[in-house]
């Protein structure tokens, strides 16, 4: 499979290809990171991209799968999460410049569960400040709809909508 086609697969299609080893978690993660590099400058879907951490998690998933330790359909899947969810060691801004330096020392339960399933965290997604709806101020850039840059992809979870629709992650929260 051509690496450039990976971001256009559904999460389920990608999970099947990873399970059968037709696509590696590293290959999938690199494909999404390349796509983020190419178009997120216009979309502002991400606040933080976890490049090194994602590649490390993808290498670990690839090794586990190769050694018969497949954990299930999320294993090796590149995901992104709304920047409202605490992520150990990765800043969590809640869409606010006030929290721009907050580095949590623990994961939210949903993040811990994603990690336990073997998912690969690509990064933290833009959102309205404190999930307040269609905020007028977006300190990390106003998220844009990938199909029409003059439109919004939503409100509170705008980065999640933009990233998923544009193929900047296999799936998002």
- Per residue in 89-126, pLDDT (tens digit) is 999 999 999 999 999 999 999 999 999 999 999 999 99
Residue 157 near residue 127 (C-beta atoms within 8 A): yes
Tokens coding 19: 């399970």
The whole-number pLDDT of residue 69 equals 98
Distances (CA, A) of 48 to 18, 29, 45, 92, 152: 25, 15, 9, 9, 20
Lowest mean pLDDT among 66-70, 83-87, 143-147, 152-156: 152-156
What residues are paired with 48 via a beta bridge?
A: 124
Backbone angles phi, psi at 168, to 5 degrees: -95, 0
Residue 92 near residue 104 (C-beta atoms within 8 A): yes
Lowest mean pLDDT among 43-57, 128-142, 154-168: 128-142
Task: Provide the edge-to-edge strand list for the sheet that holds 120-125.
Answer: 46-49, 120-125, 78-82, 171-172
Rounded CA gap, 33 and 16, in Å? 20
Residue 80 near residue 161 (C-beta atoms within 8 A): no
The whole-number pLDDT of residue 155 equals 83
Residue 95's Cβ-side half-sphere holds a number of Cα atoms within 13 Å equal to: 28
C-alpha angle 135-147-134 in degrees, rounded to nearest 5: 10
The whole-number pLDDT of residue 135 equals 62
Task: Work out the average pLDDT over 133-142.
Answer: 80
Lowest mean pLDDT among 64-73, 130-139, 159-168: 130-139
Tokens coding 1: 């499979």
The whole-number pLDDT of residue 136 equals 67
Task: Work out the average pLDDT over 71-75.
Answer: 98
Question: Residues near 161 by Cβ (< 8 Å), separated by ≥ 6?
Answer: 143, 145, 153, 154
Grouping H, G, I as helix, E, B as strand and the rest as coil, residue 137 is coil
pLDDT tens string 9-67: 999 999 999 999 999 999 999 999 999 999 999 999 999 999 999 999 999 999 999 99
pLDDT tens string 119-131: 999 999 999 999 8
Rounded CA gap, 115 and 56, in Å? 12
């Amino acid at each position: 499979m051509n690496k450039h086609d990976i971001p256009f697969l559904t999460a389920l299609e990608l999970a099947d290809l990873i399970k059968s080893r037709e696509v590696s978690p590293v290959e999938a993660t690199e494909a999404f990171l390349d796509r983020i590099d190419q178009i997120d400058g216009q979309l502002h879907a991400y606040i933080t991209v976890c490049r090194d951490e994602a590649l490390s998690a993808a290498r670990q998933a690839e090794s586990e799968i190769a050694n018969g330790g497949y954990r299930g359909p999320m294993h090796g899947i590149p995901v992104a999460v709304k920047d409202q969810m605490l992520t150990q060691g990765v800043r969590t801004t809640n869409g606010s410049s006030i929290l721009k330096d907050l580095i949590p020392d623990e994961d939210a339960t949903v993040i811990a569960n994603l990690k336990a399933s073997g998912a690969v965290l690509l990064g933290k997604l833009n959102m309205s400040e404190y999930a307040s709806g269609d905020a007028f101020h977006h300190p990390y850039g106003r998220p844009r709809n990938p199909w029409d840059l003059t439109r919004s992809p939503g409100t509170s979870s705008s980065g999640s909508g933009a990233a998923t629709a544009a193929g900047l992650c296999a799936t998002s929260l």
